[in-house]
Structure 1
Amino acid sequence: MTHHTTAALEFLQPTSERPYTYMYPPPDGRSWQNAAYESVAVAIRDARADGGLSIDREGYELREAPTAVRDFLDKDQVVRLYYPEVAELALAVSGASLAFVFDHLVRKRTPGSPQAFGRVEGQRPGAAGRVHCDFTPASAHRRLLQELGDKAAGVRRYAIVNLWRSIRHPVFDAPLAVCDARSVSSDDLVASDIFYPERTGEIYQAMHNPAQSWAYFHAMTREEVLIFKQYDTEMAGHTPHAAFEHPETPTGAPLRESIEIRCLLIYQGDAK
């Protein structure tokens, strides 16, 4: 049985300014953000019925991936056990030569609509409801330099993937929608600043385009991982994504809890 649906996603509206968003109270009376957004109802396909998905074509795929981690809120367990697990999975899925896990984020959704980028001050990050990609070419290259230093000069192909898992219940509440990379035009993506207290990041925000093709995986379990591309120097470079409110979420469904890992991939034996 498939669970196709139509639901609202939040997109950037066309703007003449470079968009920014603050993830903490802005200094000097600045606005939290300087762009306008629109909520658009889009068709979101249940991709469990699709066969042969590939991160190098659609930009995403789902894998069975049991884990030895018992408590994803235990940072030591995540770093010691989970990082090696997902690095191995990323290599198996991508065919890359080297994998560097450099970041993880545990999200616990709060009641109500997903926040723009999933953060409310003073709370654990929740579901991110604004359509975006985590990296642009510039920020991906900065990450490459951070991880490899001088060895980055010898790298020809590299990519960054996100590996996303439910850490407790099957996901009925606020599932994650991903956009087929083949349906994304470069004109849909707008480089944007996102300000944190300790750093400034650069991401892509996405404008709506009727040509975009959206999908999700119904009722993802703790034993499954969704791998999707955030950047690639050669193919299927960007997979926009966002949490959404599923209109058929069962009454009383537990709020979604998830972990995402970001992983740098190096191809063809570079940077050894």
Structure 2
Amino acid sequence: MSTTATKLFANPKLKSMKDISSAPTVVSRLNFYAPPPDNSPPYTIVATREHNFGQDARTIEIHDLRGYEACPDLDIHGFAFDLNGPEFTHSDFFDEEGIEKTSFIQKEYYPRVQEAVKRLTGGGKVVLFDHTVRLPNSNRTPVDRVHIDQSLRAALERVKLHGGEDPKFVDPYLSGKKRFQVINYWKPLSKVRRDPLAVADARTIKSENLVGVQHRYADRTGETVGVKYDPGQQWYFLSGMDVTEAMLIKCADNKEDIPAKQIPHSAFPLPGEAGDGRESIEARTLVFFD
């Protein structure tokens, strides 16, 4: 499985910026991939979240990028921050009975995400193909397992599914003549006090530590990626994220000559955390470059 490079990448654009690896750290736990006991192909059943693989819990240092917000770069590190994100909260997305207002999210929030992703990636067309709202005490809580939302193979299937029916538009992206990305636009619906999101520096992820995991829907099978622990990995988060801040997470990129083609992420327990559980929304987008 092709993925990101491990060699650190020099870029003149970053010379005047802070080195993110010098940011202060917290010590916490991340749950990495462990293979199924019987060595069968790993899978997750989407409807029930049932899976047949295990986890390898590790205590690691995670760098806090508060004060370094402008430094991460999507093509270098695999993630970046939007510090002027759309200011939607829990009350915007749920009615008085706690029912998700899906049509409102699609009509009002999706266009704002598309605008933000276009602005921050330079993409020509952005297609938002799904979203997930995560709440405490629900059936979609923050995922505390290190993973990547899409394998590069599954990302090509997303292009086929959501790129439209015109082969003149879709085929250049499938063949690699034109560039596309899958970007997860992640944002809190209230100030994050518990279970923040950690992301890895793409340059520190080795391809041999990435494992394709079947993602079984009722009508098709996609593929996510499990991530094995490696001591050379470097991890980051942004403390105290509020509703006007968002994170762009690169899940796939068909451009070859960049270090960041996809990165892992996971929720993690913040030392000394208190208060309400994390509320967030992640919107998954296809970005087509002209």
**Which of residues 192, 200, 214 is equivalent to 1:179?**
200
1:56-71 equivalence runs, <5 A: 56-67=75-86, 69=88, 71=92
Q: Are 2:161 and 1:161 aligned? A: no
Report the equivalent of 1:100: 127
CA shift, 1:246, in A, is 0.8
**Alpha-carbon distance between aligned partners in 1 of 2:160 and 2:229, rounded to the nearest angstrom:** 32
**Alpha-carbon distance between aligned partners in 2 of 1:128 and 1:173, rounded to the nearest angstrom:** 13
Q: Are 2:62 and 1:19 aligned? A: no
**Alpha-carbon distance between aligned partners in 1 of 2:88 and 2:201, rounded to the nearest angstrom:** 30
Equivalenced residue count is 247
Aligned-pair Cα RMSD in Å: 1.9
AA partner of residue 195 (structure 2): A
AA partner of residue 49 (structure 1): G
CA shift, 1:201, in A, is 2.6
Q: Are 2:55 and 1:37 aligned? A: yes
**Alpha-carbon distance between aligned partners in 2 of 1:226 and 1:25, rounded to the nearest angstrom:** 27
1:142-221 equivalence runs, <5 A: 142-148=157-163, 149=165, 150=167, 151-155=169-173, 156-168=178-190, 170-221=191-242
> What is the aligned-residue identity percentage?
28
Contact 2:151 2:224 survives alignment (8 Å)? yes
**Alpha-carbon distance between aligned partners in 2 of 1:60 and 1:87, rounded to the nearest angstrom:** 17
Q: Which runs of 5+ in 1 are unaligned?
A: 27-31, 111-122
Report the equivalent of 1:243: 267
Contact 2:45 2:215 survives alignment (8 Å)? yes
CA shift, 1:198, in A, is 5.0
Report the equivalent of 1:114: none
Normalised by the length of structure 2, the TM-score is 0.80
CA shift, 1:77, in A, is 2.0
CA shift, 1:226, in A, is 0.7
CA shift, 1:194, in A, is 2.4
**Alpha-carbon distance between aligned partners in 1 of 2:24 and 2:281, rounded to the nearest angstrom:** 23
Specify the SS of the correspondent of 1:145: helix
